Amino acid sequence: MITISIQEAQSRLSDLIHNLSPGDELVITENNQPVARLSRSEPKTQWPRKAGSAKGRPHWMAPDFDAPLEDFKEYME
């Protein structure tokens, strides 16, 4: 666990945040007393996207998907 004064944390906050690894903690102190704890959260995990990964899955599309909209009827004439 890293400990740093509040004055130093104010001047280097962006660097401190970006240098933290997930699970690391940084304690910010004022007058040698802990006042805050900063930690980096775990990154969100997503499924890797791959071209063609939805192949074979059922897709639904309205039968009138490509029909002209009523709102634009006057422009189509």
Q: Under DSSP, is residue 67 helix (H, G, I), strand (E, B) or coil?
A: coil
Give me the residue spans of the domains in the chain: 1-41
Tell me the C-alpha distance between 43 and 13, whole Å.
Answer: 19
Residue 57 is given by DSSP the state S
Enter the CATH code of domain 1-41.
3.40.1620.10
Give bridge partners of residue 26 from the DSSP assignment. 2, 38
Asked whether the beta carbons of 39 and 21 are under 8 A apart, the reply is no
The C-alpha atoms of residue 1 and residue 37 are separated, in whole angstroms, by: 10
Q: What is the pLDDT along the chain (77 residues), one digit of tens a residue?
A: 789 999 999 999 989 888 888 888 899 999 999 999 998 877 667 777 888 888 888 888 889 888 888 888 888 77
Read off the pTM: 0.52
